[in-house]
Structure 1
Amino acid sequence: MSIAESSPVMSMSAVTNELARGFNHNYYQPLHIAILKGDWESAKSFLDADPSAWTSKITTLAMTPVHVAAVGAQWKILDKLMHHVPSQSLAELDSLGCTCLHYVAMGESIDSAKGLLAKNHSLTQITDFKGFTPLVYSVTSARCKEMAWYLAMNTVDERPACPFTGDAARQLVALLTAAGFHDITMYLVQRYPNLGTISDSTGSIILNVLSKKTSDFQSGNKLGILQRCIYHCVPVQLDHLPHGDLRDSYGQTNHHQSYSGSKLWNAIQTFVPSIKHLRDLKLRQVFSVRLVEHICSQASTMSNPQFWQSFVSKDILFNATSCGIVEILRICFRFFPDLVWTHDPNEGYIAQVAIRNRQEKVFGLICKMPVISKILILSVDESLNTTSHLAARSAHSQLLSVSGAAFKMQKELQWFKRVEKMDHPLHKEVRNQDGKTAWQLFKEEHETLLEESEKWIKDTSNSCTIVAALIATVVFAAVLTVPGGNNQDKGFPIFLPNNTFLVFAASVALALFSSMASLLMFLSILTARYAEEDFLKALPRRLILGQAWLFFAIVTTMIAFSAALSLLLYKRLKWVWIPIAIMACVPVALFAKLQVSLFGAMIISTYGSSIYHSQNLW
């Protein structure tokens, strides 16, 4: 009995032992090693000497030469081998239950897959002992999306495998979604609608996986300014789709224009690889939203309300809320408005889960439903905790992206004040079962963070104070000892008529005034009381102003130094101001590079609306 005819339930060890009893390992070892090493000359010599070896089992795992070439990713040798073996031998299973296409599917050689299917088109339908087709293997490895696309378009739902309607379909959609191949999932769901409604005890499999993949949605990614600009410019195109209605359904009707734009961006991303990353990210995020919309639309047509209530389960909603995936919630609320009332005895309502997990965008979405949000926010849990109590809890995991302990404290205060403003005024005095009000709980939870914030802002202010004092000292001395000296008869500076001297004088004055202003700001921070409320506005504003004045003082000091040096050397070297100006820009640029991101974050955090993210529901 051949391996292909053996029972799927036969264990691998049993098959291996059966083969090993009559298997001459030493005889086939040279061929095995030659193929793995890519040594075609040695492999060809062995095969010419023993023609039966082209289709023989040459390993203890019952692998033929084409299996070995596929496992070793020796694509050139595989191409040569497949032209010398009959098409039916390509369908042979090894003791792991795999054809050579199963192993090719886990690699990146689409040409090898095309060559195998050209010789035996039924290879995509052959399953391993667990019922998995090569398509499942390609998605499992997630190494080559193009391979998954190719196999998805060349695999059909036929017996005995039935990969899209059989038992393996559940595993396929879970793996596709987990791999982030949402465009392929969308393609298959449109061809086989049953894939969109596959569910288990936790609800929709696709929605359940997506509700945990924050990075697959735009709300879960924080891009820089330049990255956002590129993100909005790059196209979303599926070059793998066939022409016709399916391509039109993806909004890609103008194929010529789409193809031309795709070639242009392909050329650009060849020279700038980071653009490809942004393009793939946008493709994944766009199709994740389309996939959720399609699935919810499909589920909403079901007449049984119990179906979609279990299909879009509370596990899915609470996962999406905890991860801050506002796109899933928006679409679910759009198709099933009653889901906003979803409640769990342990977690509470969705609004409470959002507050507990510091998901500002989800909170902003719920606030778009004024009456509903007010009812949900006014609710009290079994421990007598109001929503203000939930907001008072410390959320260390949500503060990892915030620089500086003082601004972490500010972020926590902003969140607490925002929720407290939405809560009922009487809830300020409500005590939970531990006998604490929301503010008392906040102070207790953030006691350690308050100490860290005080230390951080003091250390920062001390360092900046030293720099500001040094600048003030230097520029004050520069006024007394002007470049070139003074006229001994009248006491006027010798270079007074020179315009460059006016630049020097003005920059020295500005440097002195700005450094003194910075010094006073940092001194006011050092003498503050450091209460919790001070970190909300007062201390951050002083730190921002102090650093702004200090940066201005550094710039004007470098201008003053450059002007003075130019005055002293211009008669010897007329062009001396050029290298001086360039060198003066170096420390200024270095300081800006190191501090501008933190400075911008401080301004946004203090003066911007960084806590409340208004969201459109419809």
Structure 2
Amino acid sequence: MDIKAASTILEKDNYGDWSVGIKSYLMAQDLWDIIESTIEPPKQEDDEAAFKDWSDKNFMALQLIQNSCGPDTVSEIKEIKSAKIVWNTLAKKYNVPKNTNTGNVDYIALIKAVQSGDWKNAKEFLKLHPNALSEKITFMGKTALHIAVAAGHVHIVEEMVERMSEENLEIRDNGGLTALAEIVLVGNHRMAECMLRKNKHLVSIGDKDGILPVVTAMVYGNKDLARYLYSLTPLEDLMPEKGVSGATLCTQAIYTRTLDIALHLIRLYRPLALALDREKLSPLYALASMPYAFPSGSRLVFWKRWIYSCIHIESACATNEICLNIQQVEKRESDQVKTMGSGVKHLYEMKLAHVQSHELLRHMCEEISNSNDQERRRIGCVYSAIFRAIKEGIFEFVYEIVRGNPDLVWSYDRNSRNIFLTAVLHRQSKIFSLIYRLQVKNVIVYSRDDSKHNILHMAGMSADSTQLNRIPGAALQMQRELQWFKVISFALYFFAMPALLAC
């Protein structure tokens, strides 16, 4: 049997919780009799087998207790070879009365009943010990409600919530998680509704890092539960001033293709577009990382393109309805999809994502226009988002941002490459074509990066494998590379050749 260190380390002010956890574990491992035995341990010369059995159990119990103590406490008890003596020594050291309820209640029976879904026995236990629902009864500081949630027993959760106060529902374990936070990990909608009917404030209680339940639900891909929690979460809890939950919810909604939530949140508070999430990335950068969200990232055969063009999506402005009831909007959209054939459903969802992402990008561009602070743009990942979009080949993203903010055409990456040098390097022809609309095209084409490479050098460098793999056969790939070099040479001839010859 493996001996693991306890998650709760014994300190001066937590002996009650510590002793409950240690006792429960010792009983679960059939080691508690070593501590509570009132008879002398067997002697080796009298019964060698009994002595060996006692020695093994004593060693494991002793190790468990030592592993759950801090360095100072261990130094005081390391010479003691009896687990029972160590237990009594610690009880005496921390001056805990022997009749303390926390120390004497045997919670292992409650734990086993809850884990097995046996509400009858759990109910009997709670009649004898009504305060047990508010006690932390495991090493991790879990309450009986936490255990019921993890075990997935909805009926037990509902019975316990009915008997608990609103304050008890807010009890956190040692990891800073409430029982609701445990629910969002598994995505049980019925359990969440049960708790939130009793205490709606639970949606505003974050974990130890301040991450709200709605964000955790989205991170774990529980979209339906995330929508329900979002409808109950106060907007002020998602503001950047309150932490990273708002920005993280936006970025995760984009990553998980739940664009309606991201759009609704950005519409309500546009500065979130440039706020940083827990990974130090902004929603703008997240959108630049998702080719699926734009038509340029979708490659359709001709008949699918025709069907795509025939699909009508209501203006993304209709997402105002989300403010009233986000779940009803989702149901209405789902009903629309059901009326279509299965082959059209994918195209409908694709076009819906494209419409929503275009509206989302429009609001983000307006926020960029309102922010003339270069430092805020840098921190908000505006420049890195542009170059990420170029790498991904998202023409719409680059076009909308540059059109709304013409000064961003002078953006440079960390290698001092501008938008068009980067477009050539990644073989993004449609993005490079934007150069023909500029009056200063000759200046931009002539620019060089930190290594003194110009745009012709970019064309001569190896293309990304992802771009080349779209072209079948090595011969056609080589042909494509030569075409790129010829096009850039032609552009240089008309735009900047006189300047290049003068170098």
Give the TM-score range, shorter chain. Answer: 0.5 to 0.7
Alpha-carbon deviation of 1:231?
Answer: 4.7
Task: For 1:82 and 1:97, locate their aligned partners in 2 and report how far apart those are by CA, in whole Å.
Answer: 19
Is the 8 Å Cα contact of residues 374 and 422 (structure 1) preserved in structure 2?
no
> Which one of 218, 243, 252 corresponds to residue 167 of structure 1?
243
Alpha-carbon deviation of 1:422?
Answer: 1.9
> Which one of 187, 203, 211 corresponds to residue 288 of structure 2?
211
Residue in 1 that maps onto 2:338: 266
Secondary structure of 2:136's counterpart equals coil
Task: For 1:152 and 1:83, locate their aligned partners in 2 and report how far apart those are by CA, in whole Å.
Answer: 24
Residue in 2 that maps onto 1:301: 370
CA shift in 2, pair 1:128/1:409, >3 Å: same
Alpha-carbon deviation of 1:187?
Answer: 1.6
Which residue identity is paired with 2:440? I
Does 37-46 or 120-129 show the bigger shift? 37-46
Matched, 1:156 2:227: no
Aligned pairs, number:
405
Mapping of residues 249-264 of structure 1, within 5 Å: 262-264=334-336
Mapping of residues 307-346 of structure 1, within 5 Å: 307-308=376-377, 311=380, 313-344=382-413, 346=415
Mapping of residues 5-20 of structure 1, within 5 Å: 13=9, 19-20=17-18
Is the 8 Å Cα contact of residues 157 and 164 (structure 1) preserved in structure 2?
no
Q: Deviations over 1:28-67 (max 9, x none)?
A: 3454344344454554555456544444333221212221
> Which one of 457, 460, 469 corresponds to residue 389 of structure 1?
457
Mapping of residues 53-202 of structure 1, within 5 Å: 53-141=132-220, 143-157=221-235, 165-168=241-244, 169-198=246-275
TM-score, with normalisation over the residues of structure 2? 0.68
Task: For 2:335 and 2:412, locate their aligned partners in 1 and report how far apart those are by CA, in whole Å.
Answer: 50
CA shift in 2, pair 1:89/1:163, >3 Å: farther
Residue in 1 that maps onto 2:19: 21
Which ranges of structure 2 fall in alignment gaps of 5 or more residues? 1-6, 28-105
Alpha-carbon deviation of 1:340?
Answer: 0.9
CA shift in 2, pair 1:276/1:69, >3 Å: farther
Is the 8 Å Cα contact of residues 270 and 363 (structure 2) preserved in structure 1?
no
Does 28-37 or 386-395 show the bigger shift? 28-37
> Which one of 481, 495, 498 corresponds to residue 412 of structure 1?
481
Task: For 2:397 and 2:8, locate their aligned partners in 1 and report how far apart those are by CA, in whole Å.
Answer: 43
Q: Deviations over 1:394-416 (max 9, x none)?
A: 22332123332222223223322
Task: For 1:424 and 1:412, locate their aligned partners in 2 and report how far apart those are by CA, in whole Å.
Answer: 18
CA shift in 2, pair 1:117/1:259, >3 Å: closer
Percent of paired sites with the same residue: 27
Task: For 1:241 and 1:390, locate their aligned partners in 2 and report how far apart those are by CA, in whole Å.
Answer: 43
CA shift in 2, pair 1:47/1:176, >3 Å: same
Mapping of residues 165-564 of structure 1, within 5 Å: 165-168=241-244, 169-198=246-275, 205-225=282-302, 227-228=304-305, 231-232=308-309, 233=311, 235=313, 243=321, 246=323, 262-266=334-338, 268=340, 272=342, 278-302=347-371, 307-308=376-377, 311=380, 313-344=382-413, 346-367=415-436, 369-381=437-449, 383=451, 385-395=453-463, 396-424=465-493
TM-score, with normalisation over the residues of structure 1? 0.56
Alpha-carbon deviation of 1:126?
Answer: 1.8
Which residue identity is paired with 1:20? W
Task: For 1:155 and 1:412, locate their aligned partners in 2 and report how far apart those are by CA, in whole Å.
Answer: 52
Alpha-carbon deviation of 1:381?
Answer: 4.7
Task: For 1:21 and 1:189, locate their aligned partners in 2 and report how far apart those are by CA, in whole Å.
Answer: 49
Task: For 2:144 and 2:16, locate their aligned partners in 1 and report how far apart those are by CA, in whole Å.
Answer: 19
Alpha-carbon deviation of 1:136?
Answer: 2.4
Task: For 2:446 and 2:184, locate their aligned partners in 1 and report how far apart those are by CA, in whole Å.
Answer: 54
Alpha-carbon deviation of 1:81?
Answer: 2.9
Q: Deviations over 1:64-98 (max 9, x none)?
A: 22212222333343234323333332111111111
Secondary structure of 1:95's counterpart equals coil
CA shift in 2, pair 1:72/1:358, >3 Å: farther
CA shift in 2, pair 1:280/1:74, >3 Å: farther
Is the 8 Å Cα contact of residues 20 and 138 (structure 2) preserved in structure 1?
no
CA shift in 2, pair 1:390/1:301, >3 Å: closer
Task: For 1:12 and 1:199, locate their aligned partners in 2 and report how far apart those are by CA, in whole Å.
Answer: 33
Alpha-carbon deviation of 1:298?
Answer: 2.5
Task: For 2:9 and 2:391, locate their aligned partners in 1 and report how far apart those are by CA, in whole Å.
Answer: 45
Alpha-carbon deviation of 1:336?
Answer: 0.9
Which ranges of structure 1 fall in alignment gaps of 5 or more residues? 1-10, 434-618
Task: For 2:155 and 2:314, locate their aligned partners in 1 and report how far apart those are by CA, in whole Å.
Answer: 33
CA shift in 2, pair 1:65/1:264, >3 Å: same
Task: For 1:410 and 1:18, locate their aligned partners in 2 and report how far apart those are by CA, in whole Å.
Answer: 76
Alpha-carbon deviation of 1:242?
Answer: 7.5
Which residue identity is paired with 1:390? M
Alpha-carbon deviation of 1:360?
Answer: 2.0
Is the 8 Å Cα contact of residues 288 and 389 (structure 2) preserved in structure 1?
yes
Is the 8 Å Cα contact of residues 133 and 163 (structure 1) preserved in structure 2?
no
CA shift in 2, pair 1:229/1:74, >3 Å: farther
Is the 8 Å Cα contact of residues 271 and 367 (structure 2) preserved in structure 1?
no
Which residue identity is paired with 2:17? L
